């Protein structure tokens, strides 16, 4: 009969080595993410977001728009036509003010248009100037200034 005895030295190495392995893996993941290239940023003025605004990126035309009442505290729809895209996200900021965290992940519909419902937060000081940032596949960033309706 072969009875294996616990090796205290082996257990010490395992106890010390496992946390170091976890730290090494986490550091590798963070290093790899920090090496990702910054997205190409394109300013896209959009005086009429209800009809949409288009930017050309390589061979693709990307159109961004808002549907519904473009007012604070009102439900509106963000839509993006981005042929070939896998992931589209949008966030909103007021010019010169921190309006808190508001990131929306757009989902592709049967027509290939990415959409999400969003609400612009209210601001007590009353400014109407906003910036919508649209990130496409973490490679392209559209910066879209617009104004809300009164």
CB 128 within 8 A of CB 88: no
Write down the pLDDT at residue 88.
97
Continuous segment of H or E residues that includes residue 101:
none
Note the Cα 36 to chain centre separation in Å. Answer: 15
23-38 tens-digit pLDDT = 667 666 555 555 668 8
CA nearest to 41, candidates 27, 30, 55: 55
16-25 tens-digit pLDDT = 666 666 666 7
Q: What is the mean pLDDT of residues 40-60?
A: 89
Bridge partners, 118 (sequence order)? 76
Write down the pLDDT at residue 72.
81
Residue 1: pLDDT band (50, 70, 90) is: low
By 3-state DSSP, what share of the chain in percent is helix, strand and coil, each rounded to 5? 20, 45, 40
CB 136 within 8 A of CB 101: no
Residue 101: pLDDT band (50, 70, 90) is: confident
Q: How far apart, in whole angstroms, are the C-alpha atoms of residue 93 and residue 145?
A: 9
CB 144 within 8 A of CB 134: yes
Write down the pLDDT at residue 125.
67
Q: What is the dihedral of CA 118, 124, 125, 130, to 10 degrees?
A: 0
Write down the pLDDT at residue 70.
85
Q: What is the mean pLDDT of residues 49-66?
A: 91
């Amino acid at each position: 009969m072969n009875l294996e005895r616990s090796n205290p030295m082996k257990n010490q190495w395992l106890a010390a080595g496992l946390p170091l392995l976890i730290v090494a893996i986490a550091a590798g993941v963070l290093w790899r993410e920090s090496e990702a290239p910054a997205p190409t940023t394109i300013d896209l003025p959009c005086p009429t977001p209800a009809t949409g605004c288009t930017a050309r990126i390589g061979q693709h035309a990307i159109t961004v728009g808002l549907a519904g009442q473009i007012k604070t505290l009102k439900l509106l729809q963000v839509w993006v036509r981005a042929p070939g895209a896998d992931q589209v996200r949008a966030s909103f900021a007021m010019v010169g003010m921190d309006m808190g965290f508001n990131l929306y992940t757009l989902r592709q519909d049967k027509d290939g248009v990415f959409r999400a419902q969003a609400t612009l937060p209210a601001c007590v000081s009353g400014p109407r100037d906003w910036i919508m940032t649209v990130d496409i596949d973490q490679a392209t960033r559209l910066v879209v200034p617009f104004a809300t309706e009164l």
